[in-house]
Amino acid sequence: MKRNIVIAVVTAAALVGGGTATALAVAGDDDDSTSVTRTDDDRDDRGEDRSDDDWDDRGEDRSGDRDDRSGEDDDASRAAVPGDVTAAEAIAAALEHTPGTAVSAELDDGSWEIDVLGKGDTWHSVRIAPDTGKVLGAQKDDEDDAAEVRAALKNASVTAEQAAKAAQSKGTVVSVDLDDDGDDRAWDTETRASGGDERDWKVDLRTASVTADRDDD
């Protein structure tokens, strides 16, 4: 008799709560009974919570990983893409901004750096964007070799810009620098081939002829 009452109470409670209940009644006798109640709603809720949490966490983790990898790939691709502005064009842009004599040009730290000897002994360093050719900045430099540079270029007819253009036949020019030491004065240039190989060349100060740098062999 008591067992029937327990089952009825459990069933009524489940219906009031809006779920389906499974009631198990185990009785040794009429005075001793044990009731175990399990609702389908509880199982569903726990399952949905675990499922949602697990998928949300895994989804966020995977999304974060993709974002990190995407950022690294973007950075790598931006670093690998060469600039559209040649050494000669960068020198021309620097001289238009800061008149004088260009003595060196180097593609370094994501920009062209052009050294310009202005009036008197005034040196300027001009930075040019390698993709647009715009001036990124300019500042005065403290140099004390203005006299040597002017002496080396006294009888020269080939400028740094012309030397860069001449060396373009050997590859992409990444630097131009005046070698004013000794009797073998010339424009030292460095080129980079499509495969990444770098070579050094000398450009004659009078004829603009390009020869391999013997020290590079």
CA–CA distance, 116 with 125 (Å, rounded to integer): 6
Over the stretch 84-116, which tens digit does the pLDDT of each residue have?
Answer: 999 999 999 999 999 999 999 999 889 999 999
Task: Kindly tell me if the per-residue pLDDT of 59 is higher than 50.
Answer: no
For 10-42, what is each residue's pLDDT tens digit?
334 443 444 444 333 333 444 444 444 444 444
CA pair distance 120, 88, nearest whole angstrom: 24
Give Cα separations from 20 to 34, 35, 39, 130, 136 (angstroms): 20, 16, 6, 72, 73
Give one DSSP letter per residue of 138-173, joined into a string.
EEEE--S-HHHHHHHTTT----HHHHHHHHGGGSEE
Which tens digits make up the pLDDT trace of 149-204?
Answer: 999 999 999 999 999 999 999 999 999 999 988 778 999 999 998 888 999 999 99
C-alpha pair distances (Å), 94 with each of 16, 91, 128: 84, 5, 7
Which residue from 72, 152, 136, 61 is spatially nearest to 104, judged by alpha carbons?
152
CA distances from 19 to 136, 180, 207 (A): 71, 94, 97
Task: Return the higher-pLDDT residue of 78 and 98.
Answer: 98
Tell me which amino acid residue 176 is.
V
